[in-house]
Amino acid sequence: MEKKMKLETRAVHAGDRKRTGTWVPVTTPIHTATSYFYDNMADLDRAFDDGSPSYSRHGNPTNEALEELIASLEGGAGALACASGMSALNIALMAALMDRRRVILAASALYGATINMLMKVLEPSGIEIVFVDFADEEATKAAIAEHRPGAMLMETISNPLLRVAPLDRIATMANDAGAQLVVDSTFSTPMITRPLEFGAHFVVHSLTKYLSGHGDVLGGAVITTAENLGPLRSLAKSLGPLLGPFEAYLTMRGIKSFPVRMERQCANACKIASWLAAHPAVERVYFPADPKHPDAANIKRTFAPGLYGAMVSFEIKGAEREGVFRFMNALEMIVPGTSLGDVQTMVLYPVMASHRDLSPKHRARLGIHDNLIRMSVGIEAMEDIITDLDRALRS
């Protein structure tokens, strides 16, 4: 699929309609075979080198179609579809550290499970983990000079307080230092920002979220540059963290409508964030479109015009855990779920869910208070979302 086509067109067409003999399937079939044979053994021998199907841990035609599609959306040389977002992040970091110092400089504002992986899995295995506020450019430069990281890790929009570090400048710092920059771009999606275009080396998505978009897929993806694609695929052959073909098919189907969904979700989120900011029961709203957002300059440089994501976080005035539970129990349409990016609006209590495993002191340092709600805005009528929120906030 030619890159000159717009993202909305590539989302519909990239990866699909591979010719098989004299016929072409309109959508990519679900290939469930675990192994493949050829009429001639010389052809099977070549398949191990040229990427043709041989064994599904090495590659599956359904997965490969999805990988082609995702790589096209992000402008990467290739991609790897994984069993979950966390498995994708793990293998991206492993690939980034190959032949480099085993030091990861990570943004202090990250998803709770990511922090746990860094501190409880990678650090005990001998990888040095250093946290720094990536929104503070001087502190980041100093940390790079002091620790000389082999890899750096950040989110385009942080979970759950929606901070936006200077992706373009962080990428320049990483390249200047010879470090590989890994960017979790789940919250922003390729509609809003494409980290490889700014100089990042690996982009990670939880396919579970906006790209599949319907709450029926658990998956992840890594998109990378030509230089890193070989090492990434070699690791995948050894470790086997691959997505199943049914999930790959569902994700491809979801991506076809992803641009339309994302535009609607972003538009709804802007209106709802403004409404929440004026509500008497709301203490504070976190949303990237806010002109007073601390990272407004970064957002202007690195985001697509008029798109700010569909995540809105807010604090309920004077609420403790009991008050938050009362609000969530009072919701009638909005789903109190444990994910995001689906077509339906969902709310999550970070203290209980996404950042549950962090200590109260650690959460406090990150600014995650007991009255914080994280909301993933869906595609419903905006008026219906507001009606449900208002009813629950006044309960």
Q: How many CB atoms lie within 10 A of CB 43?
A: 12
**CA angle at 61 for the pair 59 and 63, rounded to the nearest 5°:** 70
Q: Rounded distance, CA 247 to CA 87, Å?
A: 15
Cβ contact 151:179 at 8 Å: yes
Other Cβ atoms closer than 10 A to 368: 22
Buried b (16+ CB within 10 A) or exposed e, 122-155: beeeebebbbbebbeeeebbebbeebebbbbbbb
Of the residues 57, 101, 264, 271, which is catalytic? 57
3-state secondary structure at position 121: helix
**240: number of Cβ within 10 Å:** 13
CB neighbour list of residue 141: distance below 8 Å, 6 or more residues apart: 173
50 touches 58 (CB < 8 A): no
Report CA dihedral (76, 81, 84, 90) to the nearest 10 degrees: -60
390 is catalytic: no
CA proximity to 143, closest of 160, 159, 131: 131
Choose, from 10, 169, 194, 209, the residue flagged as catalytic. Answer: 209
Tokens standing for residue 363: 């959460």
Active-site residue (options: 10, 163, 169, 184):
184
The answer to whether 111 is a known catalytic residue is yes
Active site residue 209: yes
Query: Strands 180-184 and 202-206: what pairing?
Result: parallel
Whether 57 sits among the annotated catalytic residues: the reply is yes
Amino acid symbol at 296: A
Active site residues: 57, 111, 184, 209
